Structure 1
Amino acid sequence: MKTFYTEREGLTLGLVGWVKNTNRGTVVGQVQGPRQQVHEMKVWLSKEGSPSSRITRAVFKNERDISKLELSGFSTRF
């Protein structure tokens, strides 16, 4: 999954966070925002992704509620 499309989807949903391609051909990242928009992002990551992606599974870890956003913007890390 190309991180550009993931970044764009996060911004469209009004989320903050970051994404990064790994050497293993996967994407890791962190997403924060309203619960419903985070859920929509997880569905997008699990089912759609970028046009050239081949999604075999999606794993979401370390989920927790936060009282305020800890990040700002949405970026791609290298």
Structure 2
Amino acid sequence: MGVQDVPAAIVSAEFEVFGQVQGVYFTKYCRDLSLQLGIGGWVKNTKTGTIVGKMQGERPKIEQMVDWLSKTGSPGSKIDRCDFGNWEYLARQEFRGFSIRF
């Protein structure tokens, strides 16, 4: 069995994005990119002006999302920082699809 036969590790993480991230379609772009990458989970605006969410997927895809959430964001957003927590490995993704919560 070669390395390519081993399924990629599924990881799960929660995130909170700080900065000018509301009113700039951040949640929509986050959902669109997650769906494109095959990442499951959810995202939502908080009352304190941040964006929170949970994502699950293959580690390389999650790493792409970590990068996007930390540095890129939606056009017009200004990210001060992004905190990640509750990292865990999963046997399989618990979420099907990626939703915006209200």
Normalized against structure 1, the TM-score is what? 0.95
| Higher alpha-carbon Rg | 2
Preserved CA contact (<8 Å) 2:38 2:57: yes
Shift of 1:14: 1.1
Preserved CA contact (<8 Å) 2:30 2:43: yes
Q: How many aligned residue pairs are there?
A: 78
Identity in percent: 47
Residue 69 in structure 1 maps to residue 101 in structure 2: no
SS at structure 1 position matched to 2:84: coil
Structure 1 unaligned regions, length at least 5: none
Aligned partner of 2:17 in structure 1 is none
Q: CA RMSD in A?
A: 0.8
Instruction: Supply the AA of the counterpart residue of 2:42.
Output: W
Aligned partner of 1:24 in structure 2 is 48
Tell me which stretches of 4 or more aligned residues in structure 1 moved more than 4 Å.
none
Normalized against structure 2, the TM-score is what? 0.74
Preserved CA contact (<8 Å) 2:38 2:97: no
Structure 2 unaligned regions, length at least 5: 1-20
